[in-house]
Structure 1
Amino acid sequence: MIVRIMGEGQVRVDDGHLTELNKLDDELLAEVQSGDEDGFRRTLAALLGSVRSLGEPLPDDALEPSELILPASDATLQEVQAMLRNDGLIPG
């Protein structure tokens, strides 16, 4: 799957990592809903770090359709809240 991290670019992540990423996404959703700023910062960093380490960056000139769009590392809790769906940023 192709994941776009806003402000950084695209990363190809194997679908086999979805379960791991969904766990972090569930934590992030709970922290956003509760207004836990410290937990939100920590989990957003962990989620983005996992995508970066598990995936392979695409070249800057590659424009593949993104299946997931994740916020930038400096996104605010309110910005991420606006991006969330009922099941978080990552479906499933």
Structure 2
Amino acid sequence: MERDHADVVLEYIGANVHRLRVRLGLSQEALAEAADISTGFLQRVERGKTNVGVVVLVRLADALGVEPGVLLRRAVLPEVTRGRPRSTRAKRPPSR
């Protein structure tokens, strides 16, 4: 069964919001606060699982420092991984 075009666009929005948020080093909480939306709603947006109205699209774009049209560009949702991200810090050798 072919997916609805609107569902595909919602995935583009989610992928673009996620990519830009990570690039800017923002947490979901920080972006949600800046866009005046709940963190739970932002999580659903980033997964492409909720409809985004024009007002929310503009708020997210403003909070990310881009034009709203940027969020509509083709993009691929990142693979979802559960749990805390692994530390990128180098492990220190054990002290003696």
The TM-score bracket by the shorter chain reads 0.3 to 0.5
Computing the radius of gyration over CA atoms, which structure comes out larger, 1 or 2? 2
**Whose relative contact order is higher, 1 or 2, with alpha carbons under 8 Å and at least 6 apart?**
1
**Larger strand proportion of the pair:** 1
TM-score (normalizing by structure 2): 0.35
TM-score normalized with structure 1 length: 0.36
